[in-house]
Amino acid sequence: MSTEKQMQHGKNKILLFRRLADQNTEAAKLAFQTEHTFSYSRDLETILTKDGNVINVGGLESEVEINAIQAKDDPLFDLLRQSVIKGEKLELWEVAVDEDLKDEEDKYPAVYAQGYLSEWEDPANVEENITISSTFTVEMEPQFGRATLTAEQEQAAQYAFKDTTAVTP
């Protein structure tokens, strides 16, 4: 048995979004992100005492910095832009779409969070694709677990190898 560790690739971590108000009617939608960063931080205040330093630990702050390419007629980008304008709460999943990490129930490791997009930048450069940048600010603590992807979500994330024969339903 090999003890060699395999590296996890950033391209296998995808983001899915949904308006919290739509959780009973819609599946989460995939963004064509080029990069995202999930960050966790706490303020630590050092208090000097006569016996040495004491650390006062602040609350957890989490956010996700997102860069994504805008597709033509993409309803997700309209939803995300409107969520900033209207101050609507969103759900976000960061899913590690790696077949080696899929469990026996076909679920992938995931981080789930609720929060708000705090900004939306929509540049239009003459020589490049439209690349949106935004910041998702997490409310409370992100939750870690496993997520199921629909066939449509998996196909959007990465198509699988198919044979040359006709596909029958």
Is 28 part of a structural domain of the chain?
Answer: yes
The reply to whether 162 falls in a domain is no
Number of domains the chain is built from: 1
Q: What are phi and psi of 154, to 5 degrees?
A: -65, -40
pLDDT for position 142: 95
Measure the CA–CA gap between 69 and 85, rounded to whole angstroms: 20
What pLDDT, on a 0 to 100 scale, did the predictor assign at position 14? 87
Say which residue the tokens 């450069």 belong to: 125
Which runs of E-coded beta strand occur in the chain?
Answer: 13-19, 29-30, 33-49, 52-69, 90-96, 107-121, 131-148
Task: Tell me what pLDDT residue 157 has.
Answer: 67
Q: Decide if 60 is inside a domain.
A: yes
Residue 81 lies in a domain: yes
pTM of the model: 0.80
Question: Which residues contact residue 8 at a Cβ distance below 8 angstroms, ignoring those fewer than 6 apart?
Answer: 96, 98
- Domain range for residue 44? 10-157
Q: Is residue 5 part of a domain?
A: no
Domain-embedded: residue 4: no
Identify the CATH number of the domain in which residue 36 sits: 2.30.110
The pLDDT tens digits along the chain (169 residues) read 556 777 666 667 888 899 999 999 888 887 777 889 999 999 999 999 999 999 999 999 999 999 888 777 778 888 998 999 999 999 999 998 887 888 898 899 999 999 999 988 877 777 777 788 899 999 999 999 999 888 787 777 654 445 545 555 5
Within 10 angstroms of residue 56's Cβ, the number of other Cβ atoms is: 9
Residue 131 lies inside a defined structural domain of this protein: yes
Does 129 fall in a domain?
yes
